[in-house]
Amino acid sequence: MNLWFRLLLMLFRRPWRKPTGPLDTTVVRMRVWPLDLDLNRHVTNGRYFTLADVGRMDYVLRSGAYKVALRNRAVPIVGDVWGKFRRELKLFEAFEVHTRLLGWDEKWTFMEHRFLSQGRVVGVVMMRGLFRSAQGTIAPGEFIRALGLAEHSPAMPEWLSAWSQSCDDMSLGLREEESARTVD
């Protein structure tokens, strides 16, 4: 099933879904459709990232983050994603995407998308992103304060901080490669 149809369905259901707090978990229920499958007849690795987008959009709408973004004329930017696949999802299998905000630092906001089927975690997608306006990146603390939370992030797991640092290291390495090519 096409991402656009899933997004429209999620938006159609929105009036009947209650708002949620910024640190609460949102749940979107879905089903595996033929266009979600790869040649092995299970959900493709890349589709998990696309389905996480639907969960993230539901979270942004229900938590009120979209209101803060509109006030700042900001758009969401995904910086990095990482996936862990534990079990396959097969054709017509029902599943849920549980989305929650894990925390933030000076630049990034960190979200988790857990894919559950029959009570088991079948996959996890981690995302670090930010909101950017014409004036530049909106500091996560400022954005979070506008959502009614304290600027101080909840404690994040050590592995999440290490992953974020590895993403920063990779970005730095790519910038160094590009600048070395332009000097030559």
Neighbours of 65 (CB within 10 A): 22
Per-position DSSP letters for 55-76, written without gaps between them: HHHHHHHHHTHHHHHHHTT-EE
pLDDT score for 184? 63
Amino acid symbol at 47: R
Classify 94 as helix, strand or coil: strand
Residue 166 has pLDDT above 70, yes or no: yes
Mean pLDDT of 22-26: 95
pLDDT (tens digit, 9 = 90+) per residue, 84-119? 999 999 999 999 999 999 999 999 999 999 999 999
pLDDT score for 2? 61
Output 113 or 54, whichever has higher pLDDT.
113
CATH number for the region 3-154 comes to 3.10.129.10
Neighbours of 10 (CB within 10 A): 18
C-alpha dist (Å) from residue 33 to 36, 58, 64: 5, 20, 30
pLDDT score for 1? 45
Mean pLDDT of 16-28: 88
Output 183 or 55, whichever has higher pLDDT.
55
Q: Is the dihedral of CA 15, 16, 21, 24 positive or negative?
A: negative
pLDDT (tens digit, 9 = 90+) per residue, 118-150? 999 999 999 999 999 999 999 999 889 999 998
Q: What contacts 109, CB < 8 A, 6 or more positions away?
A: 101, 103, 128, 129, 130, 140, 143, 144
Annotated domain spans of the chain: 3-154
Mean pLDDT of 170-175: 96
Query: What pairing do the DSSP bridges indicate for beta strands 120-133 and 109-117?
Result: antiparallel
